[in-house]
């Protein structure tokens, strides 16, 4: 119950519902316990005396008890549902908010697939467990022990059968529960792997089809799915033993009860109605124990899922930033002996990086695949923290900037152009909520996206499908650039975000960026030397190290790696310049 206790703080707004739900269930159970006594009265009083009026009155009493019990049951269900759904909504909101606070390091370590599972499937299981617990956790034990007490009021010798049967049933139920709880955690782990395989396949469906890997991916999915299925079947078989085991014990107890009751009736100690009442109480115990068994199985699943959800909430964000602070006076950026080692990585991805950029300058970052270009620019908005050295903006360490002010000052266009379902206007206003049409069109003009947006029948209100799949790669890139430009950031980072643009459009984009108001400091990550040749500072990376820092002409004279890059893209003409 420990993981669930950590989550109960999200139930504090529903204290009234948590009390009223079980209370009305107990009222329903109380009325249910009276029914066998009414039935005994009919058998012992009404039928022997052929008193039809008495029988009818007792039947009406039973109907009344049933109606009142139904009303209590519906009321309890309402309060339980309100509390459990509200609890799940608050928990899901808190989990989502916590995930948003995590840095890329924690997200990389935990994994996207498992976070999705915990946001959806796991919280749904916790919600169902909470709903059932509020309705049945008190009711079922109350009926079981209430039926036993009522049996003692009828005949203590016959009630001893209940005393023996109930502990045996409890041993079966709790034994199965203790065995299945850790296995359900394993089931959820397998579910993570299935979801990960599914997400990977759907995200890379174009690559899968391009290489004709449909059959191989299907087999991989089937292997993960089969592993999950086998474990679920194994756990399910053990869980399924609970119902037949309880049925066997209850029916044996019922047989013994009938035998003892027959002897008591024969001896004149019990009446026939009282024996029927005892059997009814035994039947009530059977039904409630089956409910309790299913309840415990669901609570077991809920506890396993609560543990997983609690595990994410316990992950501490590695990024610490002051709530208030003095932001940098300008948009100058300085790297001093900066290094970066990703969590779990053996070697450093960046080491010994030192350079500076004055406000308004354009900085180019170039290097081979895997040289650390994206890692370098990700340190500026603190998507990752440098594990060595200092990154400064405006003379202030980025770790001393309030995080909201830092992200407001830095506009980032990531490598993968990501658009959200909605309209062009809504996507652009991510950069600046409430931005005017003039600001949006100005950003589109600078990003070289205004022409194709004007051609759309609805202009800025044209729909954008999920992931921007109704736009070409180049259009998506230009829209993501425009989204970053809307906020007019002090620092603009273009992380290889013009790779889908032709050379002419790329050149117009770079020229437009230089004419921007406010003169932001621009970082351009690119594989094209031609895109960076007019940059004020070019940083050449090779295996995580800065092997050259300078202008295009300086690097052509002094940096062999840069010469090789330029030579490979310009047939060697500029490499010797």
Determine the pLDDT at residue 3: 56
**3-state SS assignment for residue 512:** helix
Q: What is the pLDDT of residue 345?
A: 74
User: Which tokens go with 557?
Assistant: 């004279």
Token pair 């779990």 in the structure block, residue: 344
pTM tops 0.75: no
Contact 181, 308 (CB under 8 A): no
CB atoms inside a 10 Å sphere around CB 96: 11
List 521's β-bridge partners, or say none: 491
Helix (H, G, I), strand (E, B) or coil at 324: coil
pLDDT, position 577:
44
Residue 169 burial class via C-beta count within 10 angstroms: exposed 0-12, middle 13-18, buried 19 and up: buried
Answer whether 273's CB lies under 8 Å from 155's CB.
no
Return the pLDDT at 255.
82
List, edge to edge, every strand of the sheet that includes 350-357.
350-357, 333-340, 388-393, 396-397
Which residue stretches of the chain have pLDDT < 70? Answer: 1-5, 323, 325-326, 328-329, 570-577
C-beta atoms surrounding 83 within 10 Å: 24
Phi, psi of 302 (to 5 degrees): -65, -40
Assign 257 to helix, strand or coil: helix
- Residue pair 228/196 in contact (Cβ under 8 Å)? The answer is no
Alpha-carbon distance of 76 to 22, in angstroms, equals 7
463-464 and 396-397 as β-strands: parallel, antiparallel, unpaired? unpaired
pLDDT reported for residue 501:
78
> What are the two backbone dihedrals, phi and then psi, of residue 508, each rounded to the nearest 5 degrees?
-65, -40
Q: Residue 325 has what pLDDT?
A: 66
Judge contact between 494 and 514, C-beta under 8 A.
no
């Amino acid at each position: 119950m420990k993981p669930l206790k950590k989550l109960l703080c999200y139930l504090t707004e529903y204290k009234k519902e948590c009390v009223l739900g079980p209370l009305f269930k107990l009222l329903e159970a109380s009325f249910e316990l009276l029914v066998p006594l009414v039935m005994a009265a009919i058998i012992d009083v009404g039928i022997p005396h052929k008193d039809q009026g008495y029988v009818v009155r007792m039947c009406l009493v039973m109907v009344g008890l049933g109606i009142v019990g139904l009303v209590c049951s519906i009321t309890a269900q309402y309060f339980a549902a309100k509390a459990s759904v509200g609890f799940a909504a608050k928990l899901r909101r808190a989990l989502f908010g916590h995930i948003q606070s995590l840095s890329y390091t924690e997200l990389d370590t935990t994994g996207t697939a498992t976070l999705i599972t915990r946001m959806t499937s796991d919280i749904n299981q916790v919600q169902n467990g909470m709903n059932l617990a509020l309705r049945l956790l008190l009711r079922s034990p109350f009926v079981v022990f209430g039926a036993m007490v009522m049996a003692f009021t009828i005949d203590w010798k016959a009630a001893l059968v209940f005393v023996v049967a109930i502990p045996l049933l409890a041993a079966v139920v709790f034994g199965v529960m203790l065995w299945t709880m850790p296995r359900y955690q394993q089931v959820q782990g397998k579910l993570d792997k299935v979801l990960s395989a599914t997400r990977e396949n759907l995200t890379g469906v174009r690559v899968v089809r391009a290489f004709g890997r449909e059959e191989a991916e299907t087999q991989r999915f089937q292997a993960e799915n089969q592993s999950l299925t086998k474990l679920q079947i194994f756990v399910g078989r053990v869980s399924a033993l609970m119902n037949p085991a309880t049925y066997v014990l209850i029916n044996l107890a019922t047989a013994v009860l009938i035998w003892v009751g027959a002897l008591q009736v024969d001896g004149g100690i019990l009446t026939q109605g009282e024996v029927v009442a005892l059997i009814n109480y035994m039947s009530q115990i059977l039904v409630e124990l089956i409910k309790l068994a299913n309840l415990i199985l669901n609570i077991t699943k809920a506890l396993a899922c609560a543990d997983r959800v609690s595990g994410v909430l316990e992950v501490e964000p590695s990024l610490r930033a002051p709530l208030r602070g003095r932001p940098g006076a300008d948009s100058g950026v300085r790297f001093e002996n900066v290094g970066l080692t990703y969590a779990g990585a053996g070697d450093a991805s960046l080491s010994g990086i030192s350079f500076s950029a004055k406000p308004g300058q354009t900085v180019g970052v170039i290097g081979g695949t895997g040289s650390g270009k994206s890692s370098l620019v990700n340190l500026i908005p603190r998507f990752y923290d440098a594990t060595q050295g200092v990154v400064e903006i405006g003379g202030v360490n980025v770790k001393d900037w309030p995080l909201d002010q830092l992200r407001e000052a830095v506009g980032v266009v990531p490598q993968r152009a990501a658009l959200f379902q909605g309209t062009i206007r809504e996507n652009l206003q991510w950069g600046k909520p409430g931005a005017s049409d003039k600001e949006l069109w100005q950003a589109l003009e600078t990003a070289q996206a205004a022409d194709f947006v004007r051609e759309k029948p609805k202009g800025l209100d044209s729909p954008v499908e999920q992931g921007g799949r109704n736009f070409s790669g180049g259009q998506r890139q230009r829209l993501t650039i425009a989204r970053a430009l809307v906020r007019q950031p002090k620092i603009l980072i273009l992380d290889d975000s013009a790779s889908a643009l032709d050379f002419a459009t790329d050149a117009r984009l770079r020229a437009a960026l230089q004419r921007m108001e406010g003169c932001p400091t621009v970082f351009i990550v690119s594989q094209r030397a031609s895109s960076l040749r007019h940059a004020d500072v070019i940083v050449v990376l090779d295996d995580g190290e800065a092997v050259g820092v300078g202008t295009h002409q300086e690097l052509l004279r002094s940096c062999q790696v840069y010469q090789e890059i330029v030579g490979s893209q310009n047939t060697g003409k500029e490499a010797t310049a």
